[in-house]
């Protein structure tokens, strides 16, 4: 499955070690509404940090090089930008059935100046709550999956809605204002209603216990699994069954509602198709034209085999400077790992930065041949891997505001045998780094000694970039499934995402401390690998616990895979003291004594995870995840939270998109201007007014 990574060094420096962000403002402080033009990138006065509230930080990113593109490419990117934003409502509805109505209601309250001016602390708290809804595309935390606890009163909410005219509220057919107040009041304030977006506890009914809107409320996990087991399977090239459907009961039978033109979500998908069709005539070449045409076909038919045909065309489009990901892609939000969340990433290639990632992709066969995998699990011919660094223009849906820094697609296994694209989001990584310089860092708090700190300062940047490259370009493209074994969603089920992300991380970790990277000229010393190992173990054992509340278990797939690898390695190397736990001034540190032996442990882990994937060994995969990845050391967790509290660093970072504005002459687009909004609130209210195409139903 896909294939996102927030890799170890950046995590240590920006996201996880500082666990997201320096604190620049009071949580309730409002950013200005000023918009800067693209020249700010050259002038050095660009402000990256825009806002901070709850456990979140909003960062602005630039689009360097856009102004140098020719007019045709700029216009093409503008149409793809519009297509991306046109689908954003779908992500809200996919996450929970009441999200759209809640978001639109809260936006109406915030737009009422009288309520905002007179509401005091309740009004401020409601605005923060709405910002959290915007950030997570719904009322559940984007990482922990827990439902938000409102810090404004129910009485204030009811009064604020009551003061609005009915025509300003997103009422369903036949619904009164009083009905809306009662329904949403219960959903928002009753902690027993939809407490968790995705519940991965394999001992319970995960479908019934998850709030996601991929399955109607009257369906059970047993019924869903029986439905998929009953489908006629195509031998050989397996399409991704269920990727773009919602299951419900009709006349006692399980039926699928397809997301397509004329089907579910048609209002938003029609807008996407409109903009894609405007982009097609501007395609850079025949390959890109075919890719966009097939994407339109897929949205019109809803056939997942058309989706695979689109992906085949997409991986063959290697010459275009511009690119887009648009569709129902990631399956992390489905407890059964089948339904794809909507996302879009619009970009163009960073020609200079791509040289590094291309160097990695060219050696893909060497990495495969020299990996510690069993010979029968290695690919004899690694083909079609395309690596590049991209400059992001806009992100939407599952990719925004919280974004990956690396992507590897497509997800369908048989298509990946033909080829794949691995990308590093260059300007996003740059924005993370620049934002981290605007506040405190946790490096000195959690590093054991000065040598570790100095090494991290010197090599952390390149170690992070290479971790992303190796994870995406080599990791997800490596290994093969044994003949006759089903897809990982069928064999490994709810553990598939965690195990796959862990497998890709281990490929990166194994080679980050390898002389091959020195020979390739990518690093000057294996000290870069030591930095990567330091950061990964610290993060997996401690730092990412900043993202959890006391009493929580680890739910999110990436967090699970990092803790699994780190704890498993710590335990495996205990006899030889490969990693040791040390105490100083009442604080815990994890210190690596032997990097070579740790590399061997990573190799052993990689070999086993690939075996589990290749053989479809559910029991072994479940045992690893449940043993190492889920439970949290309560005392260590409390210590980590206390140490972070003094730093004032947000746990998560997300992004405010640039805004593309067409320059018109005689009714025709002659240029595209890039603007950089500073206010998260301003941007999201603008999106609500201009890109809200799904009605509440």
CA dist list (Å): 77 to 59, 60, 69, 72, 157: 22, 19, 10, 9, 40
H runs (alpha helix) in 190-240: 206-209, 221-230
Of 688 and 440, the structure prediction assigns the larger pLDDT to 688
Answer for the pair 544, 563: CB distance below 8 angstroms, yes or no.
yes
- On the question of pLDDT at 36 being above 60, the answer is no
Q: Is 677 left (phi over 0), alpha (psi -120 to 50) or beta?
A: beta
Query: Which band of pLDDT confidence, cut at 50, 70 and 90, is reported for residue 374?
Result: very high
Q: For residue 247, what are the β-bridge partners? A: 215, 256
Query: Which band of pLDDT confidence, cut at 50, 70 and 90, is reported for residue 516?
Result: very high
- On the question of pLDDT at 25 being above 60, the answer is no
Q: What is the average pLDDT across 27-44?
A: 37
User: Which pLDDT tens digit goes with each residue over 120-161?
Assistant: 999 999 999 999 999 999 999 998 999 999 999 999 999 999
Query: Which band of pLDDT confidence, cut at 50, 70 and 90, is reported for residue 238?
Result: low
Length of the chain: 697
Helix (H, G, I), strand (E, B) or coil at 663: strand
Provide DSSP, 520-582: TTS-SSTHHHHHHHHHHHHHHHTGGGGGS-TTPPP-SHHHHHHHHHHHHHHHHTTTTTSEEEE
Angle at 230 between CA 225 and CA 232, to 5 degrees: 130
Nearest one of 337, 413, 371, 373 to 610, comparing CA atoms = 373
Worst-scoring range by mean pLDDT, 428-442, 444-458, 530-544? 428-442
Of 270 and 235, the structure prediction assigns the larger pLDDT to 270
- On the question of pLDDT at 68 being above 80, the answer is yes
Give me the residue spans of the domains in the chain: 8-70+267-284+321-655
Answer for the pair 245, 339: CB distance below 8 angstroms, yes or no.
yes
How many CB atoms are closer than 10 A to CB 450? 9
Query: Which band of pLDDT confidence, cut at 50, 70 and 90, is reported for residue 240?
Result: confident
Dist. CA 399–CA 344, nearest whole Å: 7
Worst-scoring range by mean pLDDT, 125-129, 200-204, 497-501? 200-204
Dist. CA 394–CA 78, nearest whole Å: 10
240 phi, psi to nearest 5 deg: -90, 80
Provide DSSP, 155-190: HHHHHHHHTS-GGGS-PPTT--HHHHHHHHHHHHH-
Helix axes 354-362, 450-469, angle to 10 degrees: 70
Identify the pLDDT of residue 116: 86
The mean pLDDT value of the chain amounts to 91
Task: Write down the pTM of the prediction.
Answer: 0.82
Q: Please, is 234 exposed, middle or buried when counting C-beta atoms within 10 Å of its C-beta (0-12, 13-18, 19+)?
A: exposed
Listed in sequence order, the residues at least 6 apart from 70 whose beta carbon sits closer than 8 Å to its beta carbon are none
- On the question of pLDDT at 67 being above 60, the answer is yes
Please give the DSSP secondary-structure letter assigned to residue 438: T
Identify the pLDDT of residue 330: 94
Identify the pLDDT of residue 438: 63
538 phi, psi to nearest 5 deg: -60, -45
- In a 13 Å sphere around the CA of 661, the CA atoms on its Cβ side amount to 12
Query: Which band of pLDDT confidence, cut at 50, 70 and 90, is reported for residue 44?
Result: low
Answer for the pair 459, 527: CB distance below 8 angstroms, yes or no.
yes
- On the question of pLDDT at 384 being above 80, the answer is no
Identify the pLDDT of residue 34: 34
Residue with tokens 């995998």, as numbered in its chain: 373
Answer for the pair 590, 538: CB distance below 8 angstroms, yes or no.
yes
> Longest Cα pair distance anywhere in the chain, in angstroms?
76
Identify the pLDDT of residue 4: 45
Worst-scoring range by mean pLDDT, 543-557, 570-584, 627-641? 543-557
Considering the chain, what percentage of its residues have pLDDT values greater than 90? 82
Identify the pLDDT of residue 42: 42
Q: What is the average pLDDT across 171-183?
A: 96
Helix (H, G, I), strand (E, B) or coil at 199: coil
How many CB atoms are closer than 10 A to CB 599? 21
Dist. CA 227–CA 221, nearest whole Å: 10
Cα Rg, the chain, nearest whole Å: 24
For residue 73, what are its two tokens? 């490419």
Dist. CA 509–CA 518, nearest whole Å: 15
Listed in sequence order, the residues at least 6 apart from 380 whose beta carbon sits closer than 8 Å to its beta carbon are none
Q: Quick one: CA torsion of 568, 572, 576, 577, rounded to 10 degrees?
A: 20
- On the question of pLDDT at 479 being above 80, the answer is yes
Considering the chain, what percentage of its residues have pLDDT values greater than 70? 92
Dist. CA 674–CA 428, nearest whole Å: 16
Residue with tokens 């509805």, as numbered in its chain: 93
Preceding amide of 581 cis, omega within 30: no
Q: What is the average pLDDT across 64-84?
A: 98
Q: Please, is 171 exposed, middle or buried when counting C-beta atoms within 10 Å of its C-beta (0-12, 13-18, 19+)?
A: middle
Q: What is the average pLDDT across 19-37?
A: 30
Q: 33-37, 428-432, 577-581 — which one is most confidently predicted on average?
A: 577-581
Give, for 67, the enclosing helix (H) or strand (E).
none
């Amino acid at each position: 499955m896909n294939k996102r990574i927030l890799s170890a060094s950046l995590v240590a420096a920006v996201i996880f070690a500082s666990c997201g962000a320096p604190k620049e403002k009071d949580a309730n402080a409002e950013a200005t509404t000023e918009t800067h033009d693209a020249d700010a990138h050259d002038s050095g006065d660009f402000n990256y940090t825009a806002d901070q509230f709850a456990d979140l930080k909003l960062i602005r990113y630039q689009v360097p090089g856009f102004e140098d593109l020719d007019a045709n490419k700029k216009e093409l990117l503008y149409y793809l930008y519009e297509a991306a934003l046109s689908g954003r409502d779908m992500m809200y509805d996919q996450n929970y059935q009441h999200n759209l109505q809640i978001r639109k209601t809260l936006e109406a309250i915030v737009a009422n100046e009288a309520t905002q001016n007179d509401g005091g602390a309740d009004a401020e708290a409601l605005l923060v709550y709405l910002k959290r809804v915007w950030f997570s595309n719904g009322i559940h935390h984007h990482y922990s999956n827990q439902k938000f606890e409102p810090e404004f009163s129910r009485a204030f909410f009811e009064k604020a809605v009551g003061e609005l005219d009915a025509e300003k509220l997103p009422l369903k057919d036949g619904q009164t204002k009083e009905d809306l107040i009662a329904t949403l009041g219960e959903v928002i304030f009753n902690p027993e209603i939809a407490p968790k977006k995705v519940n991965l506890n394999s001992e319970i009914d995960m479908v019934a216990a998850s709030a996601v809107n991929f399955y109607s409320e009257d369906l059970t996990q047993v019924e869903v699994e029986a439905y998929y087991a009953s489908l006629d399977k195509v031998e050989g090239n397996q399409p991704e069954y269920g990727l773009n459907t919602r299951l419900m009961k009709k006349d006692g039978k399980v039926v699928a509602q397809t997301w397509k033109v004329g089907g579910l979500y048609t209002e938003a998908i029609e807008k996407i198709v409109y903009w894609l069709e405007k982009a097609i005539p501007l395609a850079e070449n025949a390959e890109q034209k075919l890719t966009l045409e097939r994407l339109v076909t897929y949205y019109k038919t809803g056939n997942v085999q058309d989706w695979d045909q689109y992906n085949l065309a997409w991986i063959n489009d290697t010459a275009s400077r511009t690119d887009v990901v648009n569709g129902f892609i990631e399956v992390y939000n489905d407890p059964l790992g089948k339904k794809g969340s909507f996302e879009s990433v619009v970009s163009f290639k960073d020609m200079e930065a791509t040289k590094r990632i291309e160097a990695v992709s060219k050696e893909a066969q060497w990495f495969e041949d020299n990996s510690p995998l069993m010979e029968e699990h290695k690919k004899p011919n690694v083909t079609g891997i395309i690596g590049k660094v991209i400059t992001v223009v806009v992100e939407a849906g599952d990719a925004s505001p919280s974004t990956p820094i690396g992507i590897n697609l497509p997800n369908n296994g048989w298509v990946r045998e033909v080829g794949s694209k691995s990308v590093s989001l260059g300007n996003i990584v740059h924005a993370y780094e620049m934002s981290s310089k605007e506040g405190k860092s946790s490096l000195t708090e959690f590093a054991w000694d000065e040598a570790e700190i100095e090494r991290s300062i010197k090599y952390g940047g390149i170690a992070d970039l290479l971790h992303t490259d190796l994870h995406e370009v080599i990791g997800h493209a490596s290994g093969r499934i044994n003949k006759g074994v089903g897809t990982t969603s069928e064999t490994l089920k709810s553990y598939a995402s965690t195990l796959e992300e862990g497998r890709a991380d281990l490929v990166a970790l194994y080679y980050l401390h390898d002389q091959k990277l020195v020979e390739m000229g990518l690093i000057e010393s294996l000290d870069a690998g030591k930095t990567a190992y330091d950061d990964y173990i610290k993060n997996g054992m401690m730092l990412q616990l900043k993202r959890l509340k006391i009493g929580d278990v680890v739910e999110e797939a990436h967090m699970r895979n990092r803790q699994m690898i780190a704890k498993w390695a710590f335990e495996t190397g205990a006899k030889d003291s490969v990693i040791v736990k040390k105490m100083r001034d009442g604080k815990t540190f994890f210190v690596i004594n032997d990097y070579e032996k740790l590399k061997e442990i990573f190799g052993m882990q990689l070999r086993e995870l690939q075996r589990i994937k290749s053989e479809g060994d559910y029991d072994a995969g479940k045992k690893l995840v449940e043993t190492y990845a889920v439970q949290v050391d309560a005392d260590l967790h409390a210590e980590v939270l206390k140490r972070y509290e003094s730093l004032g660093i947000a746990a998560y970072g997300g992004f405010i998109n640039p805004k593309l504005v067409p320059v018109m002459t005689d009714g025709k687009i002659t240029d595209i201007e890039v603007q950089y909004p500073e206010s998260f609130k301003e941007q999201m209210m603008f999106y609500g007014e201009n890109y809200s195409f799904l009605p509440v139903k």
